[in-house]
Amino acid sequence: MNNDATTNNTNTETKKGIVVFILILGTFLAALNQTVMSVATPALMNDLAISPATAQWLTTGYMLVNGVLIPISAFLMKRFTTRQLFQGSMILFLAGTVVAAVAASFPVLLAGRVIQAAGAGIIMPLLFNVVLKLYPPAKRGTIMGMVSFAILFAPAVGPTLAGYVLDLFPWQVMFYGLIPLVVIVIISGHFYLKNVSETSKAKVDMVSASLSTIGFAGLLYGFSAAGNSGWSSPEVILSLLVGVIGLGLFTRRQLVSADPFLDLRTFKYGTFALNNIINVGITIIMYADMILLPLYLQNSRGYTAMESGLMMLPGAVLMGLLSPVAGKLFDRYGAKWITVIGLVITIATTVPFAVLTESTSYTFLLIMSTGRRIGMALLITPIQTAGLNQIPTSLSAHGSAIWNTIRQVAGAVGTSLLVTVMANSSDKHLDSLITSGEAAGQTEQALLTAASIHGVNEAYFVIIIVGLISLLLSFFIKNRSREEKVKKKLNYA
């Protein structure tokens, strides 16, 4: 009898594992696709004869569509089965990948990226929701560690992979290479995915959907455009104003609705709200390596895209290995002290990047960059799992949608903030060098390099401040007692 029960439990766990594994594969491909454009931009500018301002729409457009669709995912998860939603998302992603692969002009390539984003925007919140539905709080840390592997390893390895491909092949190969992988995931989903929650004939609240789209699109576009146009640009100010008004009206409607489109009452759970704030800081910190370091290496030091991508590879591998470990540590010890340790490591290894010079060694940067990734690996899983664990299962779809939306907005804010600080600091330092007479005898290129490095240092200093604020907040995280863990596990069962 006991053997039968053990066998049934093993089979159930295996089926759960297969479902989550397929969703993780889809998430990995979507996250990988999102980051390859940063390295590919110079090649695309040359091949398609477009300016940097035009080329950045390949990233901004993707992020806009992705960010707009994530809040809608909570409604879609109520309306469609897990298999229907995942398959539909991956088919859209495949269609966009095919369009991008055969694109011979910028408008067609942009259309492909937008279609890709329409599919990718649903996949990540769907994965979070499935994990919350399938696993009790006491076991989620380990599974979330695997999820973090997909979310964090893909952006880290993406630039390296893209740099390798671009050194040997045309840029189209990046998209052609994705096609068979996406097809395999779609076929696997058809045979092995099962629905994990009840569906309902939920009606679309078109007003909420419209306000959500206007609000998040306005904010994301405004923050993205600020990196190129500056914060005082009328375009940026108008976009942010429209975004704030749209989100304000959207929030009011959700709080008074009996069946909210996106249930913002999840924020009444203290740990979920606190961890979302810390999540903003961690997301901004994570963008330092992804944006500032390649700019410093390629623009100021003359390293190739391949070399700058390779610098992130050891950290990416270690992050992948440590994310499940961090999940297991969370299951055993809770989030508080793991997060504190992770932030201390991250801040300590970020400090050297605030004092970069023209002679800082590649090896030293490699070691410090890898250290930052080790610290980040200890942060992501405990923070998101502790936050999502506190909300009831009935709100898991809303919680995962909110979590991923905030992460997307924080990424846009972090990008524009870092780029703006770097650009403004570089300009001021260049003016200072010229005014003070220190520019005498130096070439124009040497001055520009010195100013650029100063700007990167200042941006990393901002990262350190954000890290210290996040560290302070992490001391307020409450770990569940052992009795609470047992009670939650029994109640879930």
DSSP string, 289-333: IIIIHHHIIIIIS---HHHHHHHHHHHHHHHHHHHHHHHHHHHHH
Among 81-85, 132-136, 202-206, 357-361, the least confident range: 202-206
pLDDT greater at residue 212 or residue 466: 466
Q: Tokens 């560690």 map to which residue?
A: 145
Contact 178, 158 (CB under 8 A): no
Provide the CATH number for the domain around residue 344: 1.20.1250.20
Residues 274 and 256 in one domain: no
Quote the DSSP letter at residue 288: I
Q: How far is CA 430 from CA 40, 294, 421, 426, in A?
A: 29, 21, 14, 6
For the chain, percent of residues with pLDDT exceeding 90: 22
Confidence of residue 11 (pLDDT cuts 50, 70, 90): low
Q: Are 17 and 124 within one domain?
A: yes
**Of the candidates 54, 14, 13, 15, which has an alpha carbon nearest to the alpha carbon of residue 37?**
54
Rounded CA separation 247/241 (Å): 10
Overall number of domains in the chain: 2
Indicate whether 83 pLDDT > 80. Answer: yes
Residue 382 CB: number of other CB atoms within 10 A?
A: 32
Q: Does the structure show a pLDDT above 60 at 149?
A: yes
Would 199 be classed as within a structural domain? no
Confidence of residue 53 (pLDDT cuts 50, 70, 90): low
In degrees to the nearest 10, what's the CA dihedral of 110, 112, 115, 120? -100
Q: Does residue 2 belong to any structural domain of this protein? A: no
Domain membership of residue 235 as a residue range: 207-261
pLDDT over 60 (residue 489):
no
Residue 201 lies in a domain: no
**From 304-308, 324-328, 426-430, the region with the lowest mean pLDDT:** 304-308
Whether residue 116 is found in the same domain as residue 226 = no
The answer to the question of residue 1 being in a domain is: no
Query: Are residues 291 and 155 both part of a single domain?
Result: yes
Residue 428 and residue 356 in one domain: yes
Six token digits for residue 479? 């770990």
Domain boundary among 238, 261, 284: 261
* pLDDT per residue as tens digits for the range 207-224: 888 888 888 888 878 877
Say whether both 64 and 74 belong to one domain.
yes
Instruction: Provide the pLDDT for residue 208.
Output: 84
Same domain flag for 255 and 290: no
pTM of the model: 0.76
Q: What pLDDT shows up at residue 338? A: 92
Residues 219 and 303 in one domain: no
pLDDT category of residue 88 using cuts at 50, 70 and 90:
very high
